Amino acid sequence: MRDRREFLKITTAGAAGVIALGTYACQPSNKKAADQAVSKSAAMGVGLQLYSIRDAMAADTMGSLKKIADMGYKFVEMAGYANGKFYGMAPAEFKKAVEDLGMKIISSHTMVEAEGITMENAKKMADDHAAVGVEYCVQPWVNEPDRNVESYKKMIADWNKVGEIMKAVGIQFGYHNHNFEFLPVDGLVPYYDIFLKEMDADLITMELDMYWATKAGQDPVEMFNKYPGRFQLFHFKDGSKKTEPYFDVVKDDITSVGAGYIDFKRIYEARETAGMKYLFVEDDNQGNGLPFEGVKTSIDNIKSKVFA
């Protein structure tokens, strides 16, 4: 995971779509109908975590965005925020580039280091993401030396503060899991006994990565039933090998959604219990050298096998 750690060194960003409903939908009497319309529309759209095509984005940002728009992706989750810019572009410039292609920016993987973040830096991060129009910023990773009870608790306390700052500008903070959060530490399972327990549910939502949760021996639907409403974002990535639960970040069998063994239709059907608002395809392995072919297979399989 060293490549991902370096990629996220400053922070990462992601985005996907919002549905414009007009002033009529904003009237109090129509709020429930508007919320339902957003939920239904978002649920039937597919987003892409741009980390899936990171090399292509670095080589040709605009050409890469056009390719995924042509495939039918409606939302994007960014993975390229640094120094106040997104993929080297000013927030308004990148936002326009995405929206001109008929897509929306929803989410951003945004790294907050274990040593903490100053409130000034958090405010800068929040303002930049508000300018690009995201609904979510998501903490995507914890470095291996920090995977202990004391560090987890300190980080979560910091993330709650970041969540307050994000909320003030209309952004929901979130956390994206791997498998190591489910490895027992000092008699605790961090994901359940520390993360979900100590994260303020109003300030931090969960972006559940189905591949990593499954590799850790977890059943996503059982998780939704136990913690309803806590999982506003889904990450769909598939695995080609059924294995015993493991907790090292080994990802050699990642494959396109629908090409492996995970039952995404069952997971998707439980979305209301989960509280899901958006789902994103993610392929850490960049299609094993064929990134666009890989994400094309994923969206085609989701539409034909999951949404059907």
| CA proximity to 254, closest of 142, 174, 147, 178 | 178
Which pLDDT value is given to residue 212? 98
pLDDT band at 170 (very low <50, low <70, confident <90, very high): very high
Q: How many CB atoms lie within 10 A of CB 121?
A: 14
pLDDT band at 32 (very low <50, low <70, confident <90, very high): low
Q: Which residue has the higher pLDDT, 157 or 118?
A: 157
Which pLDDT value is given to residue 17? 28
Share of the chain above pLDDT 70, in %: 86
Residue 153: pLDDT over 60: yes
Which pLDDT value is given to residue 53? 98
* Dihedral (Cα; 221, 35, 257, 281), 10-degree rounding: -120
Residue 34: pLDDT over 90: no
Give the dihedral sign, CA 268/273/277/281. Answer: negative
Tens-digit pLDDT profile for residues 38-95: 444 455 799 999 999 999 999 999 999 999 999 999 999 999 999 999 999 999 999 9
Which pLDDT value is given to residue 133? 97
pLDDT (average), residues 255-272: 98
Q: Which residue has the higher pLDDT, 118 or 93?
A: 93
* Contact criterion met (CB below 8 Å) for 76 and 282: no
Of the given ranges (32-36, 177-181, 194-198, 243-247), which has the lowest mean pLDDT? Answer: 32-36
Q: Which residue has the higher pLDDT, 137 or 110?
A: 137
Q: Which residue has the higher pLDDT, 287 or 39?
A: 287
Tens-digit pLDDT profile for residues 242-260: 999 999 999 999 999 999 9
The answer to whether the predicted template modeling score (pTM) of the entire model surpasses 0.75 is yes
Which pLDDT value is given to residue 71? 98
Residue 119 CA from chain centroid, whole number: 23
Domains of the chain are 2-306 (3.20.20.150)
Tens-digit pLDDT profile for residues 224-235: 999 999 999 999
Which pLDDT value is given to residue 24? 29
pLDDT (average), residues 186-214: 98
Which pLDDT value is given to residue 228? 98
Residue 13: pLDDT over 60: no
Helix, strand, coil % in the chain, rounded to nearest 5: 50, 15, 35
Q: 54: alpha, beta or left, given left = phi > 0 and alpha = psi -120 to 50?
A: alpha
Residue 20: pLDDT over 50: no
Alpha carbon of 11 to those of 8, 139, 234, 277, 308: distances in Å? 5, 9, 20, 23, 36
Which pLDDT value is given to residue 5? 46
Which pLDDT value is given to residue 288? 95
Q: What is the mean pLDDT of the chain?
A: 89
